[in-house]
Amino acid sequence: MVESAPATPVAAAAAPAAASQPAQQGQRNVVVLATGGTIAGAGASAMNSATYSAAKVPVDKLLAGLPELSKVAQVRGEQVFQIASESFTNDNLLVLAKRVSALVKQPDVDGVVITHGTDTLAETAYFLSLTVHTNKPIVVVGSMRPGTALSADGALNLVNAVSVAASKDAEGKGVVVTMNDEIQTARDVNKDVNIKTSAFQSQWGPLGMVVEGKNYWFRAPVKRHTMQSEFNIDSITSLPAVEVVYSYGNVPRTAIDAFVGTGAKAIVHAGTGNGSVADRIVPALQEARSKGVQVIRSARVPYGFVLRNAEQPDDKYDWVVAHDLRPEKARLLAALALTKTNDPKEIQRIFWEY
């Protein structure tokens, strides 16, 4: 949802366990990592569903307001950040992923839930799916309305997220997003609407649904993730600079030149249609490539995928295509790829496989 309120400063490190629900016999253990966002937001009145302050409610109050969780799992919470998600940085991603990685190694943790603002929720979920090595369920969840609003969606979304994280049938399926009763794979899901609870969609469809605490699965992800990934957050300390350039009618080369000048290691070009590149932009991208900057051709079109050597001769120009990844997710995969290689053929292989 809209997350335009000023962000609360980022916590220096994950706080200790902030809240827990009483255990029931045989329950699985789930840790909720809170990062802020609308699910922790508050409006001035119950009528405010689109105007509110994000990242206001701490995790202990969030969990205490859901006594139903005690019937689902043994739950404890940690406050990692308290920020609106549009303010997330690469450093935030690294801190969060390292904390998730540490938790899933603990034998007393069966699953992890991350509460997150919706604006960059899909990016964070995808980054976790690429970098955290585990078969344990990792679920990212948010809400489109603050908890103070009429018909707020956060409470059910969070209960569903804990339910999925505590489920053995969710093991090995990678990082998922639970919103609006649907279970979506982190790779495919995106925020497509900003004022509806059905905001998160995938062009390939959800993996399944959560109905009254029970998971119903209909498909499984086929791209590499978590345990099959060649990227491991435990050995990543920083991410190279990868920037996104958006195309439109009359677009100048200014942004490309600026990013190259400030040290970008790769540029994701969000082209029109099938990743098209304007005639006056082609030379700018060619010059960037000649200076060692990787060029990834993506599309601003939300559905479909970019075909290699269609619209542009990618082989000739030594460019990479983003396949069906949107520009913001292509940025993350490109950054991780650059921690391993500068060979565009290898980077293209990575884009096909992930």
Tell me which residues are annotated as active site: 38, 118
**CB neighbours of 39 closer than 8 A, spacing ≥ 6?**
62, 115, 116, 117, 141, 142, 143, 146, 147, 154, 157, 158
78: helix, strand or coil: strand
Among candidate residues 61, 64, 74, the one with its CA nearest the CA of residue 113: 74
* Longest Cα–Cα distance in the chain: 66
Cα separations in angstroms, 82 against 53, 71, 104, 264: 12, 27, 22, 29
Which 8-state DSSP code applies to residue 104? H
H-only helix segments in 212-278: 254-261
Q: Are 274 and 265 in contact (CB under 8 A)?
A: no
Q: For residue 195, report the phi and psi dihedrals to the nearest 5 degrees.
A: -135, 25
Residue 91 host element (H or E): helix 90-104
Pairing of strands 320-321, 294-299: parallel
Q: Taking a C-beta distance cutoff of 8 angstroms, is the pair 39, 82 a contact?
A: no
